[in-house]
Amino acid sequence: MAKLVIEHMMVGPLQSNCFIVGDEISGEAVIIDPGGDGDMILNAVGRKPWKVTAILNTHAHFDHIAANAAVIKGTGAPLMAPKGDSPYMAQAHIAARMYGMEVEASPEPDRLLDDGDTVDLGDEKIRMISTPGHTPGGATFVTSIGIFPGDSLFAGSIGRTDLPGGDYETLINSIKTRILILDDDTPVYPGHGPATTVGRERTHNQFLVG
């Protein structure tokens, strides 16, 4: 049985959360949302050292994929991203320029993920569930030690829906029908800010209460 551990880093100019989820039994790891500072991410991988078997994107905004190219080059791991955001991925580095930032363009994903698809990590199967609203293809990755919803859900807040492809009602529906159905003690590791739990957001998040 897999024994999962999490290493967390804040990366890039927008201080996005990047996670290395590793299995101490197999020595395998996945990297979730390498949004910048590729050298720092690769150094963290090398300290273990992990065998990276996949790079996972929760969505295609530049602050979550800016180091895709660097991490792919450094690990040789395949890139996996939600199918619904594939049209946005090739344009993310262009969108970054609108905010005065230069980031490296992301390679095309090696695998596009649909709702319910799984990614192997040792004996663990990481499940992707679709949680659109922040972006059309926004994804949440579900593991035995917590979920990674990207920018769909934050501690005390939710993702923006005023960017291209965003939709408020869709996002609220995604959170309530796909995330809040999980056990209250499920840890939540968002794309920005501190970790939380499903139960805490169910009872205290102003966007979800009532």
CATH number at residue 123: 3.60.15.10
Q: Is residue 209 part of a domain?
A: no
Separation of alpha carbons 105 and 185, rounded Å: 37
Cβ burial of 164 (10 Å; 0-12, 13-18, 19+) is: exposed
* Cβ(190)–Cβ(154) below 8 Å: yes
Q: Is residue 194 part of a domain?
A: yes
Number of domains the chain contains = 1
Res 95: pLDDT: 78
Q: What is the mean pLDDT of residues 74-92?
A: 93
Q: How confident is the model at residue 94 (pLDDT cuts 50, 70, 90)?
A: confident
Res 2: pLDDT: 86
DSSP string, 25-72: TT-EEEEE---S-HHHHHHHHHHTT-EEEEEE-SS--HHHHTTHHHHH
pLDDT at 179 > cutoff 90: yes
Cα–chain center distance at 107: 17
Q: Is residue 210 part of a domain?
A: no
54 closest CA partner among 153, 125, 136, 121: 121
What's the domain range around 196? 4-204
Q: Is residue 79 part of a domain?
A: yes
Q: How confident is the model at residue 17 (pLDDT cuts 50, 70, 90)?
A: very high
* pLDDT, tens digit (0-9, with 9 covering 90-100), for 113-143: 999 999 999 999 999 999 999 999 999 999 9
DSSP type of residue 133:
S
Q: Is residue 72 part of a domain?
A: yes
* Prediction pTM value: 0.96
Q: Is residue 149 part of a domain?
A: yes
Res 102: pLDDT: 83
Q: Is residue 8 part of a domain?
A: yes
Q: Is residue 178 part of a domain?
A: yes
